[in-house]
Amino acid sequence: MSDIILKAENISKQYRLGTVGTGTLRDDLKRNWARLLGKEDPFLKVGAVNDRSQQSTEDYVWALQDINFEVKQGEVLGIIGKNGAGKSTLLKILSRVTAPSTGVIKSRGRIASLLEVGTGFHHELTGRENIYLNGAILGMQKAEITRKLDEIIAFSGCERYIDTPTKRYSSGMTVRLAFAVAAHLEPEILVVDEVLAVGDAEFQKKAIGKMQDISQGEGRTVLFVSHNMESVRNLCTRGLLLEHGTSIFDGSVDDTVGHYLSLGVQRNTSDRISISDYERSGTGMVKINSVRFLNGGQYQKPTTGKPLDICFHLESAIAYQIKDVRLDFRIDDITGNRLLWFSTKMQGEDGSSTTSNTIVFSLDKLPLNSGSYWVTTHLTYKGEVTDWAKNAFQFEVAEGFFYKGYKEVASSQSKILVDYKVSYDV
């Protein structure tokens, strides 16, 4: 028997823009007439790409377009992408909340869905009554719910309020109870949207642990949507990246997360790196024009354990003094975790003014493993933020050996293994 438990074939979903009602009857008549004649839906031939940042000239938009993927039994698939990329629409189609405009979903076994806070709950009923209501909606028998009732209540952590109407619950308590019901349904496929972000850190940890038990211990399948890349990496075994309603990457979870975080970021493809304007702000009085990686004045590919000069080239429309400039930058891994932070405040007496400078951070040994990294820069002039760029650029580190040639000394516990020097050129 095939181990494919879920298969999506050519899934597309089209929505009508604007106020519902204007022209809807006319469009419905056209659709029904085409169906009676055995012809294709005429509105499937039109529609704009699902880009929420662009004004559309079309009446229809493709929320999803030609999505194809397969999920194996026991696999944990992380579906990621920007807001409006089509993630929630895809989960609603997989959960059969809505139907696709084209394509077909093939699945085996029960599907339990947790898509929105309060879905399947009646807020005039108590928590205990809502467990039975939500369990019945998800396909559980009353006897099955009764048998697992104590376990569901204990997992939710809402024992004290279980006989209180859920309209008095916070959104976090509601999510706790809803997730507890869905997780104890023992579904073949568990679908979880971003709702876990509503819960506190302790509940998120418990929920992720439960999903790991469901997939690894019980061999069940989980579809997980989240903007928390660390949770995606810890839980998922594979990733699917959506952009403007289309699938642009499908692969290992690390590769998918890396591809997602690199969207809109300049890649290091030459010895001079431009700064991305994707998330950039500041007065612009003094700005970072470009960055170079050098060693001995020559281009140096960043390599673990090797010396590296990180050169920031500044430019300005006015003449300024370098002592009035402060440059900070941090280096993050692909999930956004901060690894290194560098900061410098120029010192000195008044000197000549200039419109360009180069600030060089010199590292004796680069303390980064091989992989992809992102740099966020923060530049101030006379205490005012003049150039702040989140994920200003991306760079790759080649594999090397940090401890090569390092000799142990008696005071090694207090020795600084990595230091950096700062200089500037006018």
Using alpha carbons, list the distances in angstroms from residue 199 to 132, 206, 224, 337: 22, 10, 15, 21
Measured between alpha carbons, how far is 117 from 204 in angstroms, rounded to an integer?
A: 15
At 142, is the secondary structure helix, strand, or coil? helix
CB 123 within 8 A of CB 162: no
pLDDT in tens, the chain (426 residues): 468 899 999 999 888 765 554 456 777 777 778 778 877 776 666 555 555 555 555 677 888 989 999 999 889 999 998 888 889 899 889 888 888 988 999 988 888 887 776 677 888 999 999 999 988 887 788 898 899 999 999 988 889 999 999 999 988 888 888 888 888 877 888 888 876 666 677 777 788 788 888 887 778 888 988 888 878 888 888 999 998 889 999 999 988 887 887 775 545 455 788 888 878 899 989 999 999 999 888 888 899 999 999 999 999 888 888 888 899 999 998 777 889 999 887 665 556 677 778 888 989 899 998 888 889 999 998 889 999 998 888 888 888 887 765 443 333 333 333 445 565 554
CB 409 within 8 A of CB 290: no
- Total residue count of the chain as it appears in this document: 426
Q: Which two tokens stand for residue 371?
A: 């992989």
* CATH number, domain 4-261: 3.40.50.300
CB 365 within 8 A of CB 417: yes
Question: What does residue 256 show for φ and ψ, rounded to 5 degrees?
Answer: -65, -45
Sheet strand arrangement including 338-345:
280-281, 384-397, 371-381, 325-332, 338-345
Which helix or strand (DSSP H or E) is residue 295 part of?
Answer: strand 286-295
CB 271 within 8 A of CB 283: no
Measured between alpha carbons, how far is 393 from 128 in angstroms, rounded to an integer?
A: 51
Q: Is the dihedral of CA 203, 206, 209, 213 positive or negative?
A: negative
Partners of 53 in the β-ladder: none
Domain 272-425: CATH superfamily, name plus number: abc- transporter (atp binding component) like domain (2.70.50.60)
- Please tell me the predicted confidence (pLDDT) of residue 42: 67
Task: Give the burial string for 275-304 (b: 16+ CB within 10 Å, else e).
Answer: bbeeebebeebbbbebbbbbbeeeebebbb
Measured between alpha carbons, how far is 321 from 353 in angstroms, rounded to an integer?
A: 5
Phi-psi region of 185 (alpha: psi -120 to 50; beta: other; left: phi over 0): alpha
Q: Look up residue 155 and give its DSSP letter.
A: H
Q: Which two tokens stand for residue 409?
A: 């000394």
**Given the DSSP bridges, would you call strands 48-49 and 60-72 parallel, antiparallel or unpaired?**
parallel
Half-sphere exposure for 226 (CA within 13 Å, toward CB): 28
Please provide the DSSP assignment of 170-188 as one string: -HHHHHHHHHHHHHTT--S
Question: What does residue 30 show for φ and ψ, rounded to 5 degrees?
Answer: -65, -40
At 168, is the secondary structure helix, strand, or coil? helix
Angle at 341 between CA 226 and CA 372, to 5 degrees: 50
Please provide the DSSP assignment of 74-123 as one string: T-EEEEE-STTSSHHHHHHHHTTSS--SEEEEEE-S-EEEE-STTTT--T
Per-domain residue ranges for the chain? 4-261, 272-425
Measured between alpha carbons, how far is 81 from 79 in angstroms, rounded to an integer?
A: 7
- Token match 């109870």: residue? 177
